[in-house]
Amino acid sequence: MALPLRINLISLLFTTLVALVLSFLGSGFLYRQQSENALLIAGQAVESLRRDADTLLALNMDMHDFTGFEAVTADVLQGNALLSSASLKTIEGEVLYTSTRQTGLKLSPLSRLVIRFTRPFDTVSRQLHGASGALAGHAEIRLDRRLMIDAAIQRATLLLLCAAGLFAGCVLIQQIIFWRTIGRPLSLLMHAVDNIHPDQLEAPPEFARRTGNDDIGRLYQAFAALLHRLTDARGALLAHNEHLEHTIQTRTHELQRVNTELEQDIERRKALELELRTLASTDALTGLANRAFIMPYLERRLAQARRENTLCGVMIFDFDGFKAVNDRHGHAVGDKVLQNMARRIAQVCRQSDVLARLGGDEFLLVFDAQDMEQAGLIGKRVEAQFATPLDLGHVQIRLGISIGIALFPMHGETMEALLMHADAAMYAAKLAGGGMRFAQSPATGTPV
């Protein structure tokens, strides 16, 4: 036997042995892939069964009362011959609903031998939970591996026969000139493929432009066409990427503009809410707190004084002679009088004092004091603001003031009691010709 023929036979024999090994490895790989797919399908099936059961359990139904659930378990098995059975069990393991596929499987002797040393069935289970979240039972799918094992053995046998046939055929049709006609051109082609850079697709290698009617020539032509298509695809991809970047930049600018407008709108809404809260708690004429604000505030100040065992005072006062100003000079002048006198009084108030207009020419001052003497000093500072006439340019207005003061807890322990006693003291001062009066003691009826 010639040396080239012996070398060719040895190479063919080696190729056949490799084909045998790869056949068995491929069969094992296919079996593993089929097993994983079967487990995935079983997982999907048991998940579907679990969802149906959980839906009924969420309606507070007992597992024993599921109507027609045998049909549900049977439907789960439809469409896949590898699923052997589907069942629903209680926590104790009692089978309530089950469906089993009758396969009528006929296995070859070799398959039965292999199955004796493997696990023919797998069980996939999911927990069931009731409406309260407690464990109610299990949904199970049984997977039949016997079909997969038999199919894998059949494929391995087929591949083995094919490999043996390949060896016999290759011995008969020895191709002594294989390397000269196919091997070397393919080697050059693979080398070119390995060394082609994406930026060099526009200039394919010289040998890639080889023409001819033989298989290698057609292969070279196909390779040249492939390079041309890759070049076109790369150009289209670069153009698409450029368009995509432009689109992203445009959308980014739009989003930034929308975000800016949204932030501006939020700021406007916040400013509007602040303005509405201010208007709701502020007297429109004088800019002082109004009745809606001062009453809840006084409740909080009294609660704080009650916790800390301190004094809290209220001062109610109105202007003597203010009605005559309105009658004589009109309401416009009266409004200016209220604004200016409110400004005067606010200037002598401390930072912790809160001055509010209750309505008309009646005002309320909430303040802290150590004792009655300090409260009296605060009242005198307010009264002193009326010693100087109010000059409105074209007219001078002189007003008096009547002040009533009540202190917590001496004159009352509730807001209503303090306001009532302070109001009574103010009217007593007004009847006496104006000035300042303290509230009377609730027990003795004398000023304290």
Indicate whether 242 and 150 sit together in one domain.
Answer: no
pLDDT digits (tens, 9 = 90+) for 336-387: 999 999 999 999 999 999 999 998 999 999 999 989 999 999 999 999 999 8
Is residue 354 a contact partner of residue 366, using CB atoms and an 8 Å limit?
A: yes
pTM, two decimal places: 0.42
DSSP letter for each residue of 298-312: HHHHHHHHHHHT--E
Assess whether pLDDT exceeds 60 at residue 208.
no
Residues 421 and 295 in one domain: yes
Whether residues 159 and 50 share a domain: the answer is yes
With respect to residue 183, please indicate whether it lies within any of the assigned structural domains.
no
Are 214 and 158 found together in one domain?
no
Q: Do residue 121 and residue 41 come from a single domain?
A: yes
Tell me which residue of 100, 112, 106 sits closest to 143, measured CA to CA: 100
Q: Tell me which of 281, 308, 328 is where a domain ends.
A: 281
pLDDT value at residue 21: 78
Whether the CB-CB separation of 178 and 7 falls below 8 Å is answered with no
Q: What is the pLDDT of residue 54?
A: 81
Q: How many Cα atoms sit within 13 Å of 150 on the Cβ side?
A: 12
Q: Cα separation of 246 and 238, whole Å?
A: 12
What's the pLDDT score for residue 10?
74
Among 56-60, 210-214, 229-233, 329-333, which stretch is predicted with the lowest mean pLDDT?
Answer: 210-214
Same domain, 129 and 50: yes
- 95 shares its domain with 18: yes
Distance of CA 442 to CAs 154, 407, 411, 432, 447, Å?
Answer: 109, 12, 6, 21, 9
On whether residue 445 sits in a domain, the answer given is no
Q: Which two tokens mark 291?
A: 């009745």
Euclidean distance between CA atoms 352 and 443, whole angstroms: 30
Q: Angle at which helices 322-329 and 331-348 pack, to 10 degrees? A: 140
- pLDDT for 357 equals 94
DSSP SS3 for 430? helix
pLDDT tens for each residue of 102-157: 766 666 776 666 666 676 677 888 888 877 777 878 888 887 777 777 777 777 77
Helical (H) or strand (E) element with 86: strand 83-90
pLDDT the model gives residue 82? 72
Structural tokens at position 18? 């490799």
What pLDDT digit, counting tens, does each position of 270-325 carry? Answer: 766 665 566 567 998 999 999 999 999 999 999 999 999 999 999 999 999 999 99
The structure tokens 């009574």 sit at 424
The mean pLDDT value for 246-271 works out to 86
Residue 75 belongs to some domain of the structure = yes
97 is a domain residue: yes
Range of the domain at 377: 291-438
